[in-house]
Structure 1
Amino acid sequence: MSHQAVAMTPPIKIFLADANFLFIEGLSVMLSTIADFELAGMTRNASETLHQVQQVQNDIILVDANFFFQGHCTFGQHLREVHRGKILVLHDAISVSCLKKITSLADGFLSKTASRHQLCDSILAVVEGRFIKQIKGSLFASLNSTFQQELVSRYELTPREVEVIRLIALEFLSVEIAQKLCVSEHTVDTYRKNITKKLNVRNVAGIVNFAHRWQLV
């Protein structure tokens, strides 16, 4: 009785690059439990990543979005030059406008709050060249929604407080905000106090800076 050899698909070799030790360690442990994936290497800073990624054969690098905006912001160009595999950018609370700046440097984007299932799907999609098609369309709208959700979660803001922050940044007075929201001026003042405390800022300028940093206006 003859036995026909079965061709085995080689595992996808993954390189990890992230500054957060606990995150990258946890990610490496999770990936090691998935048969289709193989951990090729790990680094924790931009310069080490550019050096190591040339020495280690891999199919895809999962890299911290913050690496692209450190120093003189040349990391992305250099990574494209020295890395032959795909690039999946992992982001947390970074603005959508920043991510758009590196669209041409990445093959895909994924939030660090994504599930195990979403991570696996994204890795496969990027390796197969399918993910980049989504970037030009609805992906950034989705990222923007996720970005706002992370904002609300991190600072424990209510939807109404976010709206008040927007209006303050747009230079509306308390009496005008009260009229727009159909509440009393006293209620708006309460919102201001709560917002100041939650954001840990001292004055209106701090609130305005926060609004611009998180692209609320």
Structure 2
Amino acid sequence: MSTPYSIIIADDHSMFLDGLTSILANETSIKIILTAKTGTQVIKYLRINSEEKIDLVITDINMPEMDGVELNAAIKEEFPKVKTLVVSMLEDAKKIKVLTEANANGYISKNAEKTELLKAIKSILHGENYFSPRIKQVLMEAMFSDKLEPEISLSKRETEVLKLIALEFTTQEIADQLFLSKHTIESYRKNLISKLGVRNLAGLTRYAVEKGMLD
């Protein structure tokens, strides 16, 4: 008899953990080694049990302490032989792109049917990647949208002002830090709002976050 595949499941929702555990209970080729509610618990287990062969980690994205994106990156850096499958309600193209670029082996929605979930798990365990048709569609739509959206070029000073606004510095604090007048900073702020097509400071902050300016 062949040795069953060893998997870990990470999700902070007990109902999902229980449901997935129940689905996999009938799969004789799969053995659940650990169920965890944070990515931190998973990494801790892998480090402590480094000699143990873990084939797959199934993870949600939104979790406390360490989310699924961070968990996938940590696994791929420290334990590159361990496969990863993201199962999430989120259909955020940016996070999906980050995950694919960080070599995640699969991504499906929590709304997926049991048959697709098992197909994804078994495909990955057998050496193939699996991204559901819906997730592929989200990525394709995002790529098409990015091509249509003209790239906005900001000057070095505009970028500095935008970062400080996003970090919640006041107009006077930004002026002091950049050795400019308060009036000049207000002009930069108004120009940025117009240039980026947003309505207010919250829009500027959102733009800075989406563009990774605060990373």
Confirm whether residue 91 of structure 1 aligns to residue 84 of structure 2.
no
Q: TM-score scaled to structure 1, two decimals?
A: 0.54
Match of 1:101 in 2: 98
CA distance in 2, matches of 1:114, 1:32: 18
Report the Cα offset of residue 138 of structure 1.
Answer: 8.3
Q: For residues 67-86 of structure 1, what are the structure 2 equivalents within 5 Å? A: 67=63, 70=66, 74-83=70-79, 84-86=81-83
Match of 2:115 in 1: 117
Match of 1:30 in 2: 23
Q: Which amino acid aligns with 1:98?
A: K
Match of 1:192 in 2: none
Does the Cα contact within 8 Å between 2:40 and 2:65 map onto a contact in 1? no
Does the Cα contact within 8 Å between 1:16 and 1:42 map onto a contact in 2? yes
Gaps of 5+ in 1: 1-7, 146-204, 213-217
Q: Which amino acid aligns with 1:113?
A: N
RMSD over aligned CA atoms reads 3.4
CA offset digits 1:183-215 (Å, max 9, x no partner): xxxxxxxxxxxxxxxxxxxxxx9xxx9xx9xxx
Q: Which amino acid aligns with 2:37?
A: R
| Count of equivalent residues | 140
Does the Cα contact within 8 Å between 2:5 and 2:55 map onto a contact in 1? yes
Q: Which amino acid aligns with 1:11?
A: P
CA distance in 1, matches of 2:106, 2:57: 11
Does the Cα contact within 8 Å between 2:108 and 2:135 map onto a contact in 1? no
SS of the residue corresponding to residue 62 of structure 2 reads: helix
Report the Cα offset of residue 11 of structure 1.
Answer: 1.9
Confirm whether residue 140 of structure 1 aligns to residue 133 of structure 2.
no
Confirm whether residue 51 of structure 1 aligns to residue 44 of structure 2.
yes
CA distance in 1, matches of 2:94, 2:78: 26
CA distance in 1, matches of 2:64, 2:56: 17
CA distance in 2, matches of 1:68, 1:59: 24
Report the Cα offset of residue 20 of structure 1.
Answer: 0.9
CA offset digits 1:109-149 (Å, max 9, x no partner): 111111121111111111222226x68x985216789xxxx
CA distance in 2, matches of 1:14, 1:34: 12
Shift in alpha-carbon separation, 1:139–1:93, aligned structure 2, 3 A? closer
Shift in alpha-carbon separation, 1:90–1:144, aligned structure 2, 3 A? farther
CA distance in 2, matches of 1:18, 1:144: 27
Match of 2:32 in 1: 39
Does the Cα contact within 8 Å between 1:68 and 1:74 map onto a contact in 2? no
Dislocated runs of 4+, deviation >4 Å: 67-71, 142-145
Match of 1:159 in 2: none
CA distance in 2, matches of 1:69, 1:107: 22
Gaps of 5+ in 2: 142-198, 207-215
CA distance in 2, matches of 1:119, 1:75: 20
Match of 1:128 in 2: 126
Match of 1:178 in 2: none
CA distance in 2, matches of 1:82, 1:28: 26
Report the Cα offset of residue 39 of structure 1.
Answer: 0.9
Q: Which amino acid aligns with 1:32?
A: A
CA distance in 1, matches of 2:57, 2:11: 10
CA distance in 2, matches of 1:69, 1:126: 26
Identity %: 20
CA distance in 2, matches of 1:85, 1:50: 12
